[in-house]
């Protein structure tokens, strides 16, 4: 029994005593472990947070645009800035050559519809954005980013309206370009004994004088630049109210005033170069710079090309004026970037958009591009004399939207209008062009 008792003692008393000690040892061991684990967790957590804060994003970010070659330096400067902030992100600068996006837009359409969107892509504020990608529900609403970045305070309301529908804000503007600009070389004007035309009558008077000296009065390039010229001529003939009315469906394309646009346009085309269809916009600009042509009407990316690529000085090597008959009117367009639904590496795209909309991003990009920053706090000391004059006009002029660069009409109209232009170029018949334009306007939901 004793033994048993001992045993019992052993069992009942001693063994439990040993078990308790073991239990206590185990418990305190566990406690220590817990403390260590907790400390480790705290340290890991803190370090993790610190790491996350400084932790650069990774992966690829594809930026899609038509800013290739001569058009590339401004975008490259912006991308370089991004790379400095996020060195572990590999930025793919995907460009498709062709002024005004003539080729890029078609490639983009295939990719977007095929479910292969780039991280972000260049798109014009206005109908090109809204009528193409927003109605198709392919863009993410950026309202919260606008709030977070304070953009409601720094971007003009009218511009935000161009990027918005009642359901959201769909892209971030990087610039403001002016479409209705006449470019020339001041020294050549003196040499040829002509002034800068204030209106189209004056142009038509001096054009024969230039031709007699072997100079092309007005340099023109490939097809889209013809539409670009048309919008400046239309603005001169119609004025801002009727131009606006045309796109709101309140003025028919067959109205006598609009027919006058085609009549004048036909006269002007007589004074352009015959090889226009084979020239890029840069080559048309080159004709002016080289003294082969007197004038060119082009958006102010031409100023970017002449200063950044050709290293010319604004105001000395080249001059500018509103296109004839459009003094006091600023025909605007804005390039912007958005967030496509299903964009790869979404966080990297959001950081890109923040840079695109930032003061320092815009004041890096725009002085090279020939455009101005839409931000009200832009640092104008970084811009040349041309851009400063554009910034002043942007503040004081009557603002209207460009047709050739996606502001006032949707892509459907744009594509069909290219056909209308072809019809006019071969027939030179204002009535026929007016009828055709009215038909495509109705099809595109513009006319009545
Ligand atoms: C416009 C665009 C400009 C410039 C130009 C010539 O549509 O907004 O930034 O690229 O085309 O390609």
What are 270-306's pLDDT values in tens digits? Answer: 999 999 999 999 999 999 999 999 999 999 999 999 9
Which pLDDT score, from 0 to 100, does residue 25 have?
47
Instruction: Kindly indicate the confidence band of residue 26, based on its pLDDT and cuts at 50, 70 and 90.
Output: very low
- Which residue CA neighbors atom 5 of ligand 1 most closely? 100
Structure tokens at 433: 């062009």
Least confident of 55-69, 101-115, 389-403: 55-69
Q: Please report how many Cα atoms fall inside a 13 Å half-sphere around the Cα of residue 112, on the Cβ side.
A: 22
To test ligand 1's pocket by mutation, which of 405, 406, 408, 414 has the most ligand atoms within 8 angstroms of CB? 405
Which atom belonging to ligand 1 lies closest to the Cα atom of 371? Answer: 9
Span 303-317, mean pLDDT?
Answer: 98
The mean pLDDT of the chain is 90
Structure tokens at 189: 């004007």
Which pLDDT score, from 0 to 100, does residue 56 have?
77
Q: Helix (H, G, I), strand (E, B), or coil: what is residue 17? A: helix
Ligand 1 centroid, distance to 101 Cα (angstroms):
7
Ligand 1 centroid, distance to 177 Cα (angstroms):
8
Which pLDDT score, from 0 to 100, does residue 35 have?
43
Ligand 1 centroid, distance to 124 Cα (angstroms):
9
Q: In what order do the strands lie in the sheet with 216-219?
A: 216-219, 293-297, 181-184, 319-322
Which atom belonging to ligand 1 lies closest to the Cα atom of 98? Answer: 12
pLDDT at 24 over 50: no
Residue with tokens 């009642």: 166
Helices within 143-222 (DSSP H only): 143-149, 151-154, 157-162, 186-192, 200-212
Which pLDDT score, from 0 to 100, does residue 32 have?
52
Ligand 1 centroid, distance to 360 Cα (angstroms):
21
- Which residue CA neighbors atom 11 of ligand 1 most closely? 100
What are 149-196's pLDDT values in tens digits? Answer: 999 999 999 999 999 999 999 999 999 999 999 999 999 999 999 999
What are 216-245's pLDDT values in tens digits? Answer: 999 999 999 999 999 999 999 999 999 999
Instruction: Kindly indicate the confidence band of residue 45, based on its pLDDT and cuts at 50, 70 and 90.
Output: very low
Which pLDDT score, from 0 to 100, does residue 360 have?
98
* CB proximity list for 240: less than 8 A, separation 6 or greater: 329, 398, 400
Ligand 1 centroid, distance to 443 Cα (angstroms):
26
Structure tokens at 249: 């469906």
pLDDT more than 70, % of the chain? 88
What are 186-222's pLDDT values in tens digits? Answer: 999 999 999 999 999 999 999 999 999 999 999 999 9
Ligand 1 centroid, distance to 31 Cα (angstroms):
68
Ligand 1 centroid, distance to 194 Cα (angstroms):
30
Which atom belonging to ligand 1 lies closest to the Cα atom of 299? Answer: 5
**Ramachandran class of 315: left when φ > 0, alpha when ψ lies in -120 to 50, beta otherwise:** left
Span 310-336, mean pLDDT?
Answer: 98
| DSSP letters for 86-126 | -TTEEEEEEE--SGGGTTHHHHHHHHHHTT---SEEEEETT
Is the Cα dihedral 139, 417, 94, 175 positive or negative?
A: negative
Instruction: Kindly indicate the confidence band of residue 20, based on its pLDDT and cuts at 50, 70 and 90.
Output: very low
Least confident of 14-23, 64-73, 89-98, 361-370: 14-23
Which atom belonging to ligand 1 lies closest to the Cα atom of 281? Answer: 6
Which atom belonging to ligand 1 lies closest to the Cα atom of 99? Answer: 12
Residues with beta carbon inside 6 Å of ligand 1?
Answer: 66-67, 71, 99-101, 177, 281, 299, 301, 333, 335, 405
Which atom belonging to ligand 1 lies closest to the Cα atom of 71? Answer: 10
Ligand 1 centroid, distance to 300 Cα (angstroms):
9
Which of 386, 421, 424 has the alpha carbon at shortest distance from 225? 421
Which pLDDT score, from 0 to 100, does residue 447 have?
72
Span 380-394, mean pLDDT?
Answer: 98
pLDDT at 73 over 60: yes
| DSSP letters for 379-391 | -GGGS-HHHHHHH
Task: Measure Cα distances from 424 to 134, 267, 364, 439 in Å.
Answer: 32, 12, 41, 14
- What's the full length of the chain, in residues? 448
* CB proximity list for 267: less than 8 A, separation 6 or greater: 204
What are 29-38's pLDDT values in tens digits? Answer: 445 544 444 4
Which pLDDT score, from 0 to 100, does residue 173 have?
98
Which of 60, 120, 105 has the alpha carbon at shortest distance from 354? 120
Ligand 1 centroid, distance to 287 Cα (angstroms):
19
pTM: 0.88
- Which residue CA neighbors atom 1 of ligand 1 most closely? 100
């Amino acid at each position: 029994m004793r033994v048993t008792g001992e045993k019992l003692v052993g069992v009942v008393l001693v063994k439990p005593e040993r078990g308790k000690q073991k239990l206590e040892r185990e418990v305190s061991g566990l406690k220590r472990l817990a403390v260590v684990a907790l400390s480790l967790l705290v340290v890991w957590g803190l370090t993790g947070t610190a790491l996350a804060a400084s932790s650069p994003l990774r992966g690829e970010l594809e930026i899609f645009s038509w800013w290739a070659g001569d058009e590339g330096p401004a975008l490259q400067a912006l991308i370089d800035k991004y790379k400095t902030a996020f060195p572990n992100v590999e930025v793919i600068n995907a460009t498709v050559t062709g002024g005004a996006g003539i080729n890029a837009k078609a490639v983009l359409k295939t990719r977007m519809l095929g479910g292969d969107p780039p991280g972000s892509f260049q798109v014009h504020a206005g109908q090109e954005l809204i009528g193409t990608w927003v109605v198709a529900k392919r863009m993410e609403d950026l309202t919260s980013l606008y709030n977070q970045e304070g953009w409601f305070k720094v971007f003009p309301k009218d511009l935000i309206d161009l990027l918005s529908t009642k359901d959201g804000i769909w892209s971030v503007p990087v610039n403001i370009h002016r479409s209705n600009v006449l470019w020339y070389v001041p020294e050549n004007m003196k040499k040829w004994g002509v002034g800068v035309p204030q209106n189209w009558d004056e142009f038509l008077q001096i054009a024969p004088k230039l031709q007699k000296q072997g100079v092309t009065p007005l340099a023109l390039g490939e097809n889209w630049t013809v539409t670009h010229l048309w919008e400046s001529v239309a603005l001169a003939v119609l004025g801002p109210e009727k131009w606006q009315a045309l796109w709101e469906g309140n003025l028919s394309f067959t109205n006598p005033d609009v027919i006058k646009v085609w009549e004048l346009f036909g006269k002007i085309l007589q004074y352009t170069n015959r090889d226009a269809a084979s020239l890029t916009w840069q080559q048309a600009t080159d004709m002016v710079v080289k003294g082969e042509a007197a004038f060119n009407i082009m958006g102010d990316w031409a100023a970017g090309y002449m200063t950044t690529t050709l290293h010319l000085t604004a105001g000395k090597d080249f001059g500018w004026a509103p296109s004839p008959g459009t003094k006091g009117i600023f025909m605007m367009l804005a390039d912007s970037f958005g967030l496509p639904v299903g964009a790869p590496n979404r966080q990297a795209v959001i950081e890109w958009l923040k840079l695109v909309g930032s003061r320092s991003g815009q004041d890096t990009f725009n002085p090279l591009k020939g455009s101005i920053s839409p931000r009200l706090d832009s640092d104008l000391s970084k811009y040349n004399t041309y851009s400063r004059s554009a910034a002043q006009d942007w503040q004081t002029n009557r603002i209207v939207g460009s047709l050739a660069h996606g502001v006032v009409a949707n892509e459907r109209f744009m594509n069909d209008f290219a056909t209308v232009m072809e019809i006019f170029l071969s027939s030179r018949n204002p009535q026929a062009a007016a009828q055709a334009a009215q038909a495509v306007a109705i099809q595109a939901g513009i006319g009545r």
